[in-house]
Structure 1
Amino acid sequence: GKIFRGDKIMHAQYYGAVGAILYNDPFDFAPFGTSADQVYDQKWYMPPSGTQRGSTYTSNGDPLTPIYPSTEYMYRIDEEEVSAIPKIPAQAIGYSEAQVILQYLQGDNAPTDWSGTLPSVVYRYGGILRDSTDAWNLGAIDPTSGTATLLEVTRVLGDMYSKGFRPRRSLMFCSWGAEEYGLVGSIEYVQEYVKVLGARVVSYLNLDVAVSGNYTIRSTASPLLVDAIIEASKMVPSAYDSPEQTVYDKWKKVRWNNVTNEPIIGNGLGSGSDYLGFDQLAGSSNFDASYTFNPADHGNLGSYPLYHTSYEVFSMVKKFVDPEFQAHRALGQFTGVLALILCETPVLPFNVNRYTTALRQTIDSFKTNDSTMFDLLRSATNDFGIAAEEFVTRSKSMDVKNPYVIRAYNDQLLQLERAFLNPLRQGGAYSDMKHIIYAPAKNNQYASSGFPAIADAISSGDKTEISNQVRIATYFVRGAISTLKEFNKFIAA
């Protein structure tokens, strides 16, 4: 279950399969056994009949109008030209049905990390693709926890507005349709208004699977937002803890990086939710967060076990996830406070030095036999770090009472993230992925990958392609440097 379901079926199609069956193995969704007392509705783990259903579309937006908005006047490609939808049939089933099928499967034994925990089954190769898809049922967690939280944030800020509050920057509240079919609503919106959004949007704060547990908040964002996220976390009480304990205090206990002495906040967003269009097309600096469970208490599950099934109902949330709805409240407060920080602070609370650290960490994470192939990119990153430090130093002597000076500084901050957008995209037909630093790699449409085009080239083993992608990335990092320079000194010496 480690990659997007659509990619699984696409891989099967590529290797000649005539169809695919997908299921949720109890290894991933019922780690403590499949007896009636260990699964829903006695516990929140997947029962034998649990079935996820979902999109296998590997792109986003209307498949007949790739890149462009699906307006009345836009041309459509022929359905036969759509390459992002699998052409083989696929069916999701429960693991009780899968157990019967797998007992008859022939072929070589599958490796250990491809094997689950169904009894009386030897996991083999043979045309069956295992593990999860997603589904569209009542969706008490996905997306209703996000919808409920968004509505509450909207209600509170609306009440503030009725009492005279006027934000320094505009706040827009959006609820998208057709997300499960390939982010259609949000992608089409961004495609149609990308010129305005690309020029004006500061940040997009995403609430989708807002609450899947009551342990702590897990946040992922652009590196520029990390300082603002930490500031917000210090102002919000942690759910189901003592009243004086904040989200930040909880992070100190459960999500702390002892090397940096800071909370663990993920860098870069993937494509699993409606932030994608803002990330990859508009170029704003974006945020996603969820109140989650403790994986150590649940067999190290990667997702809540009833994800996108017909068992994902209100009573399940109240019984197993958030009995007093404190987690919903805490995440709403956290997101609302972050929104206020971003819209009310005269100087945008973006720390450009965070990007230097993120770039270096990503480069160091690449596994190759020849580390010198990244020397050009390392050199550009070092120069970026120098420019970022100079930018921060200049800001300390900035006339914060002069609105024109503040506007010029904020404009530079806005341009930094946008400088990483490649108008030619991440190679080939990868139409929606333009962010050169953070986007999904081609073999997994969900997860974010640092320098994804380089990661894909490394996976291919093509040294020429690796070199080419390193040089392209170097170009964009050096281009980003110019956005941090003084307006009359942006040309390299």
Structure 2
Amino acid sequence: MATGGAPRRKAIAVLLSAAAALVFIWAAVSLLPAPQYVLWSSFSSGSGSRGNGPANNGGIDPAQIFLHIPSTDHLRHNLQYYASGTHVAGINTSQALYTKEYFEKQGIDSKIVEYYPWMNYPIDQKVVLFNETTYEIFYKAGLKEDVIPGDDASEDPNNLPAFHGLSANGNVTGKLVYANYGALDDFEALADAGISVKDKIVLVRYGGFLRGLKVKAAAMYGARGVLIYSDPADDGYVKGKVYPDGPWRPESSFQRGSVALIQEYPGDPLTPGYPATKNAPHINPKDAKNINRIPSLPLSYRDAQPLLQALQGYGKNASDINPSWVGGLKSKGVEYWTGPSALDVNLLNKVEYKMTPIQNVIARIKGWEDPERAVIIGNHRDAWCAGASDPSSGSAILLELARAFGELKKLGWRPRRSIILASWDAEEYGLIGSTEWVEENIDWLRANAVGYVNVDAAVGGSTFAAHASPVFKDLLYKVTKQVPYPDSNKTLYDVWLRESLASSSAAPLLAKEHSKDSAVANSVHSPLPQDMQSSGYSSKTPVIPPLGAGSDFTAFMAHAGVSSLHLGFDGDEGAYHSNYDSFARMTAFIDPEMKLHRVVAQVWGLLAIRLADDAVVDFNVVSYARELKHYINELKKHISLQLKKSEKYTTPSSADSMEAIAVKNLRHLRAAQRQLLVNAHLLEHDKRRLRSIYGEDCQMSSRHRRAICLKLRESINDRVSQLERHFIDPEGIPGREWYKHVLVSPGRWMGYGFQLFPAIAEAAEDHDWKKLRQHEKHTAGLIHEAAWFLRDV
């Protein structure tokens, strides 16, 4: 025994020396500069998908090859097709067939999945200013957008009139009242000024607040109908030159869109929580909680000007309520008064509701190793008009991704996990196509979905932005560092970081209605809480805010618990939902050479390849646990604000007591967050152990060791990809049970903006401190369960 000790120690010393040398070599290599197009080995610490699978044809590098495939010529052709005319949900079957056939030409299995939601279409609309006694008509709104010479989209005979999706039928008359943006605070300000909107027609401007909630707020205060106009201060001539001389909204342009109450639930109004299949049972339309009950119409600022002038001298001068109530028409002599007017307004919104078939196009590239696991990428296809930006820029890119994946398949590539490409229908009415598909496939998604990556209006400007589950954060940074930014020696990440640091808040891509109603939304509802803008987030990386609602990621993230990411280029929204969101405007002012389209294609495709092909899914659960701490800090501030609001109902001592209880109760959340962080680090330790002992691809001769490696790798992938599911409460958010994500869901009155810890925050808003404590403890329990799930091997 004693004689063998020295040789053994010597052997161990030799091994340690060899290990030290390897570490030195690795460190030296890691300091070498990265090439412009990085190989797969640089994307992940393991061997990734360099051909070890049987279907990968001897080791091609799909990531490096893919970067060079997307073509601006192909993207231009695709965009011309999709933006060649109006393609409203339910009447765009030809585009669904084209999309399916295009996928199949690339060698990708594809099918059309139909649903039968309840949707409306315009029949007759009218806005008339008249004297109710004499019936003299003083003004009749044109409700029509001008033809722009040279822009075919502006003269399409299929263009819709002024119209709101899922709006109420109605023919109503009343005095006119101006209510600024139509937020709850605006109606409260009118009431404080002694001005009632009961039985009135309310005129509000687009911006800062979801249009459906403007209608709901007006109805709560007793209004008969709502007119929503685009003020030039928000996205018209005050911003710059109007189309066709510039990108901003011209005087005849109005913004179509849905007035669905998306914060209640998205999707088909009559099948909440289950798919709208052909023979599905339907609730009574009177019981549908996500539709408004009073009629509404959109207006251009040309049509709104005579109405605002009819208010002059009646009620209060809007500037006396708040100077921010004065819009851009002041330059044309409009003084902005509240009313009520002396004259009456008649609002007619005649629509036809009917069950209408819609078509999702679903394509699948089958994975070679784990075909049941799937990465889903999606974009909606329907538009209120030609929709060059929204959504056709994304649709054009989705086709180009299919072509690129087809080219890789010709080289022998198959993804490790399956990739699903989805072209959704009826998003514009209220996220209907994606919601119905998620509801129909909910069990499969919760068992097998790795993640969902959404692109909507892929190119609306030149500012890159993303919103995501925190697990995506590091992966998106890595991918954007691989994508060159056009006409520069920078990467997309470099430009994104510079713009993020220069901005006081994150770019407002999160929700179209929340942010794209107008530029003013940036200041009215900051998409990122101040606490998270400053100390909560590193200034060394671009900000990636959480997801609320507003596009097709909603059902995946907030209902099914599938980690999701939403990305694209945002910017000048002067044609949003109008006839001027056209190919001509896109190529004149937004992306003439389709270079930004190509950038989105590269980012989107690389994300799909990484998620589908990496041996270990590159989701960072430590990032999630760390950001949860900042969520809690923001929640504490929200509770404190609500306590201050409640002081007028309580004595100071009781308010102090309630605040102490509320803040003290956050100890459950803080303890759960700490446990989640500890266990997230343990999972990272498992990743390191896998790499150092076995290697991520588990390529070894010993069957026993390979089996152990595969089991450990599967456990890691399950834990990182299913963490989000553990933040899903089957009971849902109280009062809005369709939304089930307890950490981040859309707020009740935030439009599509996110609400952190919605059940807790809303209990505070209701000053229900008992429920607040209950929800805080329940949410902490779910986080603890998530933490132990991360630890389970």
TM-score under structure 2 length normalisation: 0.57
Correspondence for 1:308: 577
Q: Output one character per residue of 1:333-360: Cα deviation in whole Å (capped at 9) or x when no partner.
A: 1111111111111111011111122211
Choose which of 9, 27, 30 in structure 1 pairs with 2:233. 27
Give the Cα–Cα distance (whole angstroms) in 2 for the partners of residues 470 and 262 of structure 1.
32
Correspondence for 1:470: 776
Give the Cα–Cα distance (whole angstroms) in 1 for the partners of residues 297 and 235 of structure 2.
18
Give the Cα–Cα distance (whole angstroms) in 1 for the partners of residues 607 and 213 of structure 2.
34
Q: 2:260 matched to 1:12?
A: no
Aligned partner letter, 2:254: T
Farther off after superposition, 275-284 or 106-115: 106-115
Q: Structure 1 residues 67, 127: CA separation in 2 closer, same or farther (over 3 Å shift)?
A: farther
Q: 2:390 matched to 1:145?
A: no
Give the Cα–Cα distance (whole angstroms) in 1 for the partners of residues 477 and 326 of structure 2.
40
Choose which of 545, 554, 560 in structure 2 pairs with 1:276. 554
Q: State how 1:250-399 maps to structure 2 within 5 Å.
A: 250-256=495-501, 260-293=538-571, 304-366=573-635, 367=637, 368-369=639-640, 370=659, 371-398=663-690, 399=694
Correspondence for 1:245: 490
Aligned partner letter, 1:327: L
Aligned partner letter, 2:559: L
Give the Cα–Cα distance (whole angstroms) in 2 for the partners of residues 91 and 436 of structure 1.
35
Choose which of 213, 217, 230 in structure 1 pairs with 2:461. 213
Choose which of 244, 255, 258 in structure 2 pairs with 1:52. 255
Q: Does the 8 Å contact 2:468/2:566 carry over to 1?
A: yes
Choose which of 766, 771, 786 in structure 2 pairs with 1:480. 786
Aligned partner letter, 1:427: P
Q: 2:322 matched to 1:111?
A: yes
How big is the shift at 1:466?
A: 2.7
Larger radius of gyration: 2
Give the Cα–Cα distance (whole angstroms) in 2 for the partners of residues 122 and 135 of structure 1.
35
Q: Output one character per residue of 1:147-187: Cα deviation in whole Å (capped at 9) or x when no partner.
A: 01111111111111122111111111110111111111111
Give the Cα–Cα distance (whole angstroms) in 1 for the partners of residues 634 and 556 of structure 2.
26
Correspondence for 2:273: 67
Give the Cα–Cα distance (whole angstroms) in 1 for the partners of residues 556 and 340 of structure 2.
38
Q: Does the 8 Å contact 2:383/2:390 carry over to 1?
A: no
How big is the shift at 1:125?
A: 4.4
How big is the shift at 1:107?
A: 3.2
Which ranges of 4 or more aligned residues in structure 1 deviate by more than 4 Å? Answer: 124-128
Q: Does the 8 Å contact 1:67/1:431 carry over to 2?
A: no
Q: Output one character per residue of 1:207-240: Cα deviation in whole Å (capped at 9) or x when no partner.
A: 11100113x421111100111101101110113x
Aligned partner letter, 2:327: G
Q: Structure 1 residues 33, 246: CA separation in 2 closer, same or farther (over 3 Å shift)?
A: closer
Give the Cα–Cα distance (whole angstroms) in 2 for the partners of residues 152 and 262 of structure 1.
33
Farther off after superposition, 102-111 or 22-31: 102-111
Q: 2:713 matched to 1:406?
A: yes
**Secondary structure class of the residue paired with 1:209:** strand
Give the Cα–Cα distance (whole angstroms) in 1 for the partners of residues 498 and 750 of structure 2.
32
Choose which of 231, 234, 245 in structure 1 pairs with 2:478. 231
Q: Does the 8 Å contact 1:281/1:432 carry over to 2?
A: yes
Correspondence for 1:491: none
Q: Structure 1 residues 322, 382: CA separation in 2 closer, same or farther (over 3 Å shift)?
A: same
Q: 2:334 matched to 1:121?
A: yes
**Secondary structure class of the residue paired with 1:253:** helix
Correspondence for 2:442: 194
Aligned partner letter, 1:67: G
Q: Output one character per residue of 1:438-490: Cα deviation in whole Å (capped at 9) or x when no partner.
A: 21011123112221222323333333333233223212211211211224xxx
Give the Cα–Cα distance (whole angstroms) in 2 for the partners of residues 158 and 393 of structure 1.
37
Q: 2:41 matched to 1:41?
A: no
Q: Does the 8 Å contact 1:268/1:439 carry over to 2?
A: no
How big is the shift at 1:381?
A: 1.1
Give the Cα–Cα distance (whole angstroms) in 1 for the partners of residues 598 and 470 of structure 2.
26
Give the Cα–Cα distance (whole angstroms) in 1 for the partners of residues 668 and 335 of structure 2.
49
How big is the shift at 1:202?
A: 0.7
**Secondary structure class of the residue paired with 2:297:** strand
Q: Output one character per residue of 1:237-292: Cα deviation in whole Å (capped at 9) or x when no partner.
A: 113x31x3111121232224896243323232221111111112321111111123
Q: Structure 1 residues 365, 321: CA separation in 2 closer, same or farther (over 3 Å shift)?
A: same
RMSD: 2.1
How big is the shift at 1:304?
A: 1.2
Q: Does the 8 Å contact 2:315/2:340 carry over to 1?
A: no
Q: Structure 1 residues 372, 254: CA separation in 2 closer, same or farther (over 3 Å shift)?
A: same
How big is the shift at 1:374?
A: 2.1
Aligned partner letter, 2:499: V
TM-score under structure 1 length normalisation: 0.90
Correspondence for 2:743: 437
**Secondary structure class of the residue paired with 1:16:** coil
Q: Does the 8 Å contact 1:66/1:431 carry over to 2?
A: no
Give the Cα–Cα distance (whole angstroms) in 2 for the partners of residues 149 and 446 of structure 1.
25
Correspondence for 1:296: none
Give the Cα–Cα distance (whole angstroms) in 1 for the partners of residues 337 and 621 of structure 2.
49
Correspondence for 2:730: 423
Identity of aligned residues (%): 35
How big is the shift at 1:2?
A: 1.6
Give the Cα–Cα distance (whole angstroms) in 2 for the partners of residues 127 and 16 of structure 1.
14
**Secondary structure class of the residue paired with 1:310:** coil
Q: 2:315 matched to 1:102?
A: no
How big is the shift at 1:373?
A: 4.1
Give the Cα–Cα distance (whole angstroms) in 2 for the partners of residues 481 and 67 of structure 1.
28
How big is the shift at 1:135?
A: 7.4
Aligned partner letter, 2:724: E
Q: Structure 1 residues 403, 114: CA separation in 2 closer, same or farther (over 3 Å shift)?
A: farther
Q: Output one character per residue of 1:6-61: Cα deviation in whole Å (capped at 9) or x when no partner.
A: 11111111111100000111121026368xxx211111111111101111111311
Structure 2: runs of 5+ lacking an equivalent: 1-206, 342-381, 502-532, 641-658, 699-708
Q: Does the 8 Å contact 2:473/2:544 carry over to 1?
A: no
Farther off after superposition, 277-286 or 251-260: 251-260
Q: Does the 8 Å contact 1:226/1:265 carry over to 2?
A: no
Give the Cα–Cα distance (whole angstroms) in 1 for the partners of residues 498 and 324 of structure 2.
31
Choose which of 744, 752, 755 in structure 2 pairs with 1:449. 755
Choose which of 286, 299, 304 in structure 2 pairs with 1:93. 299
